[in-house]
Structure formats: C-alpha cells, structure tokens
Amino acid sequence: MKKLKNEFSEMLKTVGNDFTEKKLTALFPIKGKEYKSELMVIGRAFNGWGGKEDDICWENKKGNPSKKTIENIIGYSEEEIDVCPMKWITDHWGLETEVNKNGFEYNMKKSAFWRVIKEILSELKITSAEDWASHLVWSELYKIASNKGGNPSAKLLNAQFEKCKKVLNEEIIEFKPKRILFLTGYDWFKDFENLGFNRDNIESSLVEWVGSYKNKNVKVVVAKHPQGKNETEYVNQVIKYFNK
C-alpha cells in the first residue's frame, strides 16, 4: 500500500494548475471491507464528492495540495472502525428522498454504473447480499476532478494522465484482482492499454475489449459506459467474457 500511496501523492503534488477548474479534489481507490480479490471496477473519471468537503479539496490558484490535504483524501477512502468505506453506496440505494453526506440529494440506484455492477456481482456469485458494494475495489482512470462534480476538462485530463497510468498499475499490483471491469468504453481505455494489457478477439456490441493483465490469471473486460444501454444484455455480455 505504501508504494500506491506514494504514487498517488506524487500525482497530486505534480498536477500543476494549467486548467480551468478552480477547486479540486481526488479519488483514492476504495477497497470494500469484504473484498477478496474477486472484482475491481474502474470508471472513466472521478466527478467529485459534491463540493462540501473542504478538508479534501484544494484551490487551483494556490498551487498543489498540502500534505495534510493529501492525507485527508487518502483517509477519506479508507475504512473507519468497523465501517466499510463503500457503505455509502448501499446507504443511499433506492431511497425516494435523501441527502448524501455532502448535502446533495442523490439516490445511488439512479446510477446505471452502480446498477450493472450490483447485478454483475450477483451473477458472478460473488455476493447478492445487502452489503454487495463492500465486495469491490472501485477506482477511476482519471482521479483528479473539480470538487463541484462533472468530468474533468481536457486540460486537467492531460495534466494527470501520465501519473494516472502509474497509479493504475500500482492499484492492480496492490489489490491483486482476479477480474477487472472497465466501464469506460475502449475510447477511454485505449491510452492505458500499453500498461501490460493483452487483448483477445471478441464479437460483442457492448463489450469492446477482453483479455488479461500481464498475469494471464487476471481477466479484463472493457465495456461501454452503461448509461442508456440495455442493462440485462450488458450484464449478460460482461458475464459471458468473465466466464470464458
């Protein structure tokens, strides 16, 4: 974990300030309490924590984040005493009206990203329990974003890209997943492909890349982003390639 934390910290220290976002935050990968190396899920880009957590943010114009801010960002993703750091997903699942921990209303069940992940966990027989999110590691290709949400600007993506590749490599080494699911589409994944991902031939409308990562025992599936897709078919295609 030390090397991963060092790479992540270096990324935050060196991102610079040549972009339009005024206040930034970042995602350190979150490992669920019940994670047993079965599935790591990776999205395109972090879109913030909702804008109200000042201790895990820094102002662009003031330069790079302080050591304390970096420690807070990493600590925000780590397990508290007997509390799974992924519990916020299930805590905010399916409620008609609720306010998340940042003061913003959001029902996590409205997210296609998390809906398909829940079903994939069930189909893989990893878990169908209420604490399903605790069986995952979750990260994003691009980890630095505006604290107000939304995808990072092109300049911010470019500024963090090379360091994000190093962090992703360390994440895989640290968490040792048997399966990695990128819910990104190949267009986002392709710039990371040369980290050591080995491609197999496929024919699929929703899964765009399948293969392995260095060690042939690590199965990798790259699927289109699930928003607006037939989710039953999406899950079936992902499961098909994970079970090959």
What is the domain-level CATH number for residue 111?
Answer: 3.40.470.10
Question: Which one-letter DSSP state was computed for residue 103?
Answer: S
| Number of folded domains that form the chain | 1
> With the CA atoms of 4, 7, 13 and 14 taken in that order, what torsion angle do they form, in degrees rounded to the nearest 10?
-150
Q: Are 238 and 230 in contact (CB under 8 A)?
A: no
Task: Give dist(CA 40, CA 219) in Å, integer.
Answer: 10
Structure tokens, 66: 């302080």
Residue 108, pLDDT score: 86
Q: Are 197 and 237 in contact (CB under 8 A)?
A: no
Residue 102, pLDDT score: 47
pTM of the model: 0.93
Residue 43: which of 213, 185, 236, 219 has the closest Cα?
185
What distance lies between CA 124 and its chain's CA centroid? 19
Map residue 43 onto helix, strand or coil.
strand
Residue 52, pLDDT score: 59
> Can you name the residues that pair with 24 across neighbouring β-strands?
58, 146
> Which residue range(s) make up the domain with 105?
2-242
What distance lies between CA 165 and its chain's CA centroid? 13
Determine how many CB atoms are found less than 10 A away from the CB of residue 23.
16
Phi-psi region of 16 (alpha: psi -120 to 50; beta: other; left: phi over 0): left
pLDDT 10s digit of each residue in the chain, 244 long? 999 999 999 999 988 888 888 889 999 999 999 999 999 999 999 988 765 567 899 988 777 899 999 999 999 899 887 889 999 899 888 766 555 444 555 788 889 999 999 999 999 999 878 899 999 999 999 999 988 888 899 999 999 999 999 999 999 999 999 999 999 999 999 999 999 999 998 878 999 999 999 977 899 999 999 999 999 999 999 999 999 8
